[in-house]
Amino acid sequence: MDLALVTDKILLIGEGNFSFARALAVRNPPSIEPSLQSLTSRNFTATAYDIEECYSKYAEAEEIVQYLRAAGAEVLFGVDATRLERVGALKGRKWDKIAWNFPRAGKGITDQDRNILSTQLLILGFLRSAAGFLAQGSIPNVLASKKKRKRVSDEGGNADEHDAFDSDREAQPKRRQSAGGY
């Protein structure tokens, strides 16, 4: 299955330092998935939650953004993944693929349960917001950590399973049955 077609328009959310977008923009790198080698920078829009002052946060970001723009990519700053509809540059547009490769709330919450809940709510907000920007038939892609964590099951015992999302599927919430069969 191809990750992307040469004609696909791709929206990249939460790029941080834009290194993933740069990896897509580099022409024919040997390590990249063959289906992505034919993409051009004009195929994607890369966004970051941070504003352009992120250059002080990520030393390499300014150089990467200059490279992307010179290659024809669209780069947007100050984009809230949960409120895409409020971004003027995105209004009225559709993408074939929307990817958020490293979703995190970034709130500095030290309590693991609250941190997980905050991230789950963030991803839910993104999925709701992104749905209106997808061309028909596409599915948003959220890459979650593949680490397994111990958690308490619905019945009170420990359960060894992934977090709320199964990282082997694209943004598909795990299906669990409660004791009542729901």
H/E stretch holding 142 = strand 141-142
Looking at the fold, whether 28 and 14 belong to one and the same domain comes out as: yes
CATH number of domain containing 104:
3.40.50.150
- The model's pTM: 0.69
Looking at the fold, whether 139 and 168 belong to one and the same domain comes out as: no
The answer as to whether 4 is a domain residue is no
Looking at the fold, whether 160 and 180 belong to one and the same domain comes out as: yes
Looking at the fold, whether 54 and 14 belong to one and the same domain comes out as: yes
Alpha-carbon gap, residue 165 to 118, rounded angstroms: 14
H/E stretch holding 63 = helix 61-70
Burial of 3 (0-12, 13-18, 19+ CB in 10 A): middle
Looking at the fold, whether 36 and 83 belong to one and the same domain comes out as: yes
The answer as to whether 5 is a domain residue is no
The number of folded domains in the chain is 2
Domain containing 76 equals: 10-143
The answer as to whether 62 is a domain residue is yes
Looking at the fold, whether 41 and 71 belong to one and the same domain comes out as: yes
The model's pLDDT over 139-165, given as tens digits with 9 standing for 90+, comes to: 556 665 555 545 444 444 544 444 343
The model's pLDDT over 49-90, given as tens digits with 9 standing for 90+, comes to: 999 888 999 999 999 999 999 989 999 999 999 999 999 999
3-state secondary structure 153-165: CCCCCEEEECCCE
